Structure 1
Amino acid sequence: MGEFAKAWGYIPPIGIIFAAIGSSVIPLGIYFINQWLHKIGDPPWKTSEEQDEREK
């Protein structure tokens, strides 16, 4: 494993790896949930013609 460790470099603990992945996945998930909620919940007067055309 000595050769592999030298070639790979420092391998962070698993908690750091999960935190790094979560720091991208959680905001992305919130963004998509927010878009979905706006799509199903915005009143008709709030949507513009431009948004209606993009959805089609």
Structure 2
Amino acid sequence: MSLSSHLQELKKKHHSLSTAVEEMQRSPSTDGLHVAQLKKQKLRIKEEISRLSGQLH
């Protein structure tokens, strides 16, 4: 897998996590721990995207 295609996959995953977090936060029966875990995962992906983008340029 090339670096640019890997970046695209990470961006898609980041976007889908963002959507999931937003939907969960709108629900009154949301598990706060699960939302926090998703946010941490989203942050790790964002950091990886930044790191890889730096290597690409």
Bin the TM-score by the shorter chain: 0.3 to 0.5
Task: Give the greater-gyration-radius structure (CA).
Answer: 1
**TM-score using structure 2 length:** 0.43
**TM-score using structure 1 length:** 0.44
Ranked by relative contact order (alpha carbons within 8 Å, sequence separation 6 or more), the top structure is 2
Normalized per residue, the structure richer in helix is 2
